[in-house]
Chains A and B, each alone.
Chain A
Amino acid sequence: DAKTTQPNSMESNEEEPVHLPCNHSTISGTDYIHWYRQLPSQGPEYVIHGLTSNVNNRMASLAIAEDRKSSTLILHRATLRDAAVYYCILNKRTGNQFYFGTGTSLTVIP
């Protein structure tokens, strides 16, 4: 199984950018990098995913290192609603499995 490593917790001030790092040194060439977030008492929610190139959507940006052994989720302006646990996940193309790490708990300070 492919695991990721993330800091247990991070803090950010409201309306400031947040950079959430993830290490995935065991990634293989066909694994996609996904990010999900989970609010209390809810199921995880999709944020963004990519393979090699940096990706942007309305929620966030994903920066992928050239060697693909790490990635960074960027929230451009943190809001109180962004407080959640953020999971970096490797999506194995073979079998299409999703393996979660322990995630980063993001606290947004007003």
Chain B
Amino acid sequence: DAGITQSPRHKVTETGTPVTLRCHQTENHRYMYWYRQDPGHGLRLIHYSYGVKDTDKGEVSDGYSVSRSKTEDFLLTLESATSSQTSVYFCATNLGTNTEAFFGQGTRLTVV
């Protein structure tokens, strides 16, 4: 295992509440990513980070924000959760171009 921990692993929250998911890595990888996985869509990139305080949007970033204040932590925040954000969220890390990516075990988020 690449030392990636996602927390929480499961969460149920109400519509309109803020939610923060945490990804913690012990590999000192430069790049970190947040994906969501829904039936029929595979994994879709939400946001990614290419260094401390350096982040950029992915393909489905609306309604999400991220922060990376330390190399090891990448936070995904849903400012006001909606039912359409019910999904399984995966974090990934990568040392750099031409290297493999490592994925966490996922966080199952349900917005009711």
- Chain A residues near B (Cβ < 8 Å): 1, 32, 34, 36, 41-46, 49, 51, 87, 91, 93, 95-103
Contact = CB atoms under 8 A, between A and B. Distances in A.
Interface residues of B, number: 27
B41 A99 contact: no
A45 B103 contact: yes
Interface of B is mostly: strand
A99 B59 contact: yes
| Of B33, B41, B103, B104, most A-chain CB atoms within 10 Å | B103
A34 B92 CA distance: 14
B97 A97 contact: no
Contact of A34 (B40, B101, B104): B101
B61 to A, nearest CB: 12
Interface in B33-52: 33, 35, 40-45, 48, 50
Contacts of A36: 101, 103
A108 to B, nearest CB: 21
Contact of A98 (B40, B101, B104, B106): B101
Contacts of B35: 100
B9 to A, nearest CB: 11
